[in-house]
Structure formats: C-alpha cells, structure tokens
Chain A
C-alpha cells in the first residue's frame, strides 16, 4: 500500500460519509466568523429555524471593515463613522449574542484579523479542519491543519451541520531546498512560487510546502507562505507538524494542557506526509534562486525580483497573456523596460493577514530604526494583526520606532489590504504593501499595489522607492 500525504491523512480523519460519485461530507472542527461573509448565513439559519450544530466550534470577530484610527475605535461600535460598516459590525455582534457564539468584539484586546487571532489563541490546532468565509483561511495550514476559505452558503452549511460538502482535491508538493539570503523572507518565497506556477497553478490541488527551507522557517513565516496558497489557486496549503509547530502551540489559551496535551502531541506527530507518499504534481524550488520580490502588475503572478525591469507584451507566450500585460501596464501607469527600483511610491502599508504578526513588525522595525520616511510619501501605515500583537510590539518599543520615523501606528484590522474602511489608496497612487492581492482597485479605486515583504516595504518607506535590501545600507 502506498504511503499517504498529510492532506490524505487529514481528509480521512474528517470523512463523515462519502457518496458513490466522490462527494463527501467533511467534519469541521473550527469555524471562524467575521462580519462581511456571515450576515446572510445567519439570516438563512434564522429563516429556516435552524440552530448551530456545535456552538463551541465557532469563534467570531469583526476585522474587515473596522476602523483602525484610535479616535474612531474609542467609543466602540457606536463610534464607527460609516453607517453601513457600523450596521455590519453590529449585525455580527447581535448574531453572536442570539446564537450564543463567542465573539472577540472590537473592544476586546484579543480582537484582530481572524487569521492572525486563530493561531495566536490556539483556536487553530494541528490536525484540525478549519474554515472561514474568507479565502485567506489557507493561512492556518501552517500548523498542519486542513484550512480553507468558503462562501457564505457554506458558512450557513457549516453552522447548521458542522460539515462541508466537497470532493477531494489532488495533492501537490512544493519543495523548497537550500539556504535563503538573510534578507529574503517567507513572503519572497511565496511570491516567487506564485510567479513560477501562476495564479491558477494550484487550482484543484491542496499544496503541501516542504523542504529544508520551509522547515527552517518559524511558524509565523510558514503562515505567510500558506496564506498566499490561494493566490496560487489552491484553496488549502499546508505544512507538516514538527517541533517548531509544537512549541508554537504550547501554552496558547485554547490549546490542550496536561495529559490531554501529551495525548494531542502523540497524535500531532503523525501529521506529516509518509516518505513514500505519492503526489500528483511536484514542484522543486531552489532557495538560492530567490531574490527579494516585487509585484509590478495586477495579478500576484506578475512578480519579479527587485533587480528586474518591467516586462513588455512582446515577451508574452500567448495573445491572452500579451493583452494581460498591456492591461496591467496601462492600469499601473508603468512602461516596459522601466526599472522596478525607479517606481516612485506614494504610500506604504505594513499589515494584513499575510504580514502583520510580531515577527513581521520586528523585521520592519529593524530596517526603520533611526531613519525617517521619505518626504515624498503621503502616508506610511503600520497596522498590527491583533490587539495582542499591538500590545507585544508596544512592550518592545516598536511603536515608537515606527512613529519616530514618520509611520502611523494603528489599531488592528484588515485595513488597507482591501480598503473596506477609510484606509485606502487614491486614484493612481503607488503603494508598497505587505498584503496579498494587487488586483485592480483592491486597495482603493485606481490604486496601484506592489506586493512585497515587510523588510522591503520598510526600506521602500525610507527611500521613497524600491531598493534591493540585500545591498541597501539605509539613507545617510
């Protein structure tokens, strides 16, 4: 009998029943809920007279359209200026009260971006199936969980049945081997992978990330990798459990303790792919090929090393691709042949479920310390991923490092990653952003997003344009 992949094991452990055509009911251990994709699901539940199957499996918090300005956060929900946002945040609170679901509301220090908070609280544990009405749920796969984004109909389905209806995906292995340059990060690895396999490269697959480079990353770095599996087309990305995973989980508020911890660890240690496991597709990446990455276009696969120049439609292999490049050049206001380091920036955003954890903020602060942001910038924002990340950063004095350099230090939330609140780009503005999507209009109408690592965003803030941080010594 052939060996099993980690995905095979997680799938089998959660299989409730399977129909002859392969459609399965998969049991869901943890359901995370936020304000944007849940109201219609709760309404559906109410209209059909159904109740949540297992209340304790659910954890809710508002994140997508909460304000990040302290002044607007001070008086809770009533203080949210935009009445449409206020109603949505209030609706989540009312639904959680009505159905007795635990919510970290806006005033709770544990509130934050749902994908930062789940692992931080130990609400996400290895071996779990985790879902949320948000495509970046893939983040949680870093802990050896099967985690995927779902639509609102599925949110209602999970609330009502604790199950998800789906067919098994294929297995893809992405192996990254070798040593990274010290200023090349998890973000650069995943951007490089997306540039290599394309945004539809992982469609229909669950991707397992493995290899010595992935093993050497911290759990937070692994979350950055799994977070952007969806930008590679895969609903779920995951990484096998090792000592790094276990030491991350131990002591978290919702993690098991005592004898149950030992029992859990024994089980979690089995959550790796067998040596003889068979994958449907294998991609091998050499870590030493990866330079700091910058996205130049309007799809995450339009990404290049910082040393590169903007491509021309003539380099395309198909007419559709040539039109895509043409479209992106027009939208981004860039010329073929222009150097990436010559792109002038208007705003900087350090935050999002990709890069707003404490290690991200520390890494950015190390670049910024003792420097000032370029006078040509209109704004540089740091938005911590959760209230607890913010508190930790403040204890370490990182807030002062950023503020002294000219950054704004904000309250936790999704913020400028998707610009549902007031944090957004103006028409035509270029932004170095640590977020995950550079789609047209994503960060604001006409806004031009360049996806980068926290270190690259921090250095770009000081220089006013992109720099190759491998050789950059700061401004005199």
Chain B
C-alpha cells in the first residue's frame, strides 16, 4: 500500500446521496480475479450510455454528457466530493479498487457506509467525514471555480483551501498510522500471534466445539 502524507488534487462531484457499491462498480466487472483495471468501469452505468461488459474497448463507448464527472473541468480529479451514506450496499472491495484505479485518493462526504469506509483505508484511500454544512459549502465553491483543488494533510488532519482557510477532520489514530506508513494490517496483527495462540488455548476448554474441523 502507498503511504499517504499530503495530497493536493482537483475535486470532482458525485452529487447524489446513497451511492451504493453496485453503482460504483457494477457486478459484471466483479468476475475479475485481479485487483487492478477497474478504473475505466468506475460508475459505469452513469458514465456511459450503453451497458458495459468486461473486455469492451471503453474509449469507444458513448459517454454520458450529463454526468458532471465526464466534463473536461473534472478530468484528472483525485478528490471526490459526494453526499451521505456513500458506499452503501455490497461489501465488494472492488469499489475502492475502482476508485483508486480511476485516480481518487480522497473522498469527502457527510457519512459513509461502514464496510466501505473500512475498505478504503486498506487500500490507501482516505475517506473524510465533514458536517453537512461544510460539504454544502465545498459543493458551492467547487461549482463556482473550474479547476477547484484542495490539499489534504493527513499528519495535521486538515483540509486546506487555496485561500489558506483550513478545516480539521477526524481520523482513527491506528488507521492514520497505517496510512502514513503504508502499513499492511496482517503484518501488524501477526506481531500479536502469541496472544492469538493463548486465546485459542483458553477457548479450547470453554467452547471446544468451535475447534472441531468442518
């Protein structure tokens, strides 16, 4: 996983609430056994006018001109600004893989669905929660200014506007440490392997049926 320190990038909108993971990456693309290559099919049903299938030449497909994300001013965006309950539905990690593969490193919303929120951190994406009113202001500022960018400083836990105004954000200290250092959860957990073994030893007496083989 890539370490995350300070990131500056163009902000793009997904201006709707309850964006589910089916919308982020439709199921026909989940048949892949890889982690990469999902970017061209991010928000597939919204970005293109036809029905996408794996293996298609996406550059030749008709694009939806009404979707703001498709407009020139939002090309190369790396920060996604969106509405509440983003990432609800299926636990598919293909959703953060698709966002990352497209280029998004930061997500800003008033709320995220639990499993999705968790999956983001495991892939080097920083999901940031802000009050509804702040999100509303950011939408207004973004629409008003083509090429609107933000800087996110994870170490200091602040979002910095171009005029120097800042907004603080919360992040779990453990998740922050993992992101800053690009740490792999498994390696960290295995430092506690003696504790896991001790736990198993104790549970073998209390609930022995758990340890019967399937």
A interface list, Cβ under 8 A from B: 16-17, 19, 21, 23, 25, 27, 29, 36-37, 39-40, 43, 48, 50, 53-59, 64-65, 82, 84-85, 87-88, 91, 102, 121, 123, 125, 127-128, 133-135, 149-154, 156-157, 160-163, 165-167, 199-200, 203-204, 230, 233-235, 254-256, 260, 263-264, 267, 299, 320-321, 323-324, 327, 418-420, 427, 437, 439-442, 445-446
Contacts and interface: CB of A to CB of B under 8 A. Distances in A.
Nearest to B33: A39
A133 B45 CA distance: 24
Interface stretch (B6-14, B100-108, B150-158, B202-210): B202-210
Contacts of A441: 22-23, 26, 45
A58 B214 contact: yes
B141 interface: no
A37 B122 CA distance: 15
A127 to B, nearest CB: 7
A40 B35 CA distance: 6
Nearest to B45: A441
Nearest to A205: B114
A57 B207 CA distance: 14
Interface centre among A37, A39, A263, A439 (most CB of B within 10 A): A439
10 contacts: A16-B192, A37-B91, A37-B93, A133-B93, A151-B92, A161-B196, A200-B113, A204-B114, A324-B17, A439-B89
Contact of A128 (B30, B34, B199, B210): B210
Interface stretch (B56-64, B72-80, B182-190): B182-190
A437 B203 contact: no
Contacts of B91: 37, 133-135, 149-151
Contacts of B17: 320-321, 323-324
Interface in B65-93: 83-85, 88-93
B16 A123 contact: no
A84 B32 contact: yes
B211 A161 contact: no
Contacts of B113: 200, 203, 233
A16 B200 CA distance: 9
A56 B33 contact: no
B18 A299 contact: yes
Contacts of B92: 36-37, 151
B140 to A, nearest CB: 13
Nearest to B195: A17
B163 interface: no
Interface of B: 16-18, 20, 22-23, 26-28, 30-35, 45, 51, 54-55, 83-85, 88-93, 96, 111, 113-115, 118-119, 122-123, 172-174, 185-186, 188-190, 192-193, 195-196, 199-200, 203, 206-214
Given A27-B196, A235-B114, A88 B33 contact: yes
Given A133-B91, A200-B113, A441-B45, A17 B27 contact: no
A233 B31 contact: no
A151 B115 contact: yes
Contact of B172 (A23, A27, A36, A263): A23
Interface centre among B17, B31, B208, B213 (most CB of A within 10 A): B31
Contacts of A324: 16-18
Contact of A16 (B27, B51, B55, B196): B196
Given A16-B199, A27-B199, 9 more contacts: A25-B195, A40-B93, A56-B211, A59-B214, A161-B189, A161-B193, A200-B113, A321-B17, A441-B26
- The 3 A-B residue pairs with the shortest CB-CB distance, nearest first, are A56-B213, A39-B33, A153-B122
A332 to B, nearest CB: 15
A352 B51 CA distance: 24
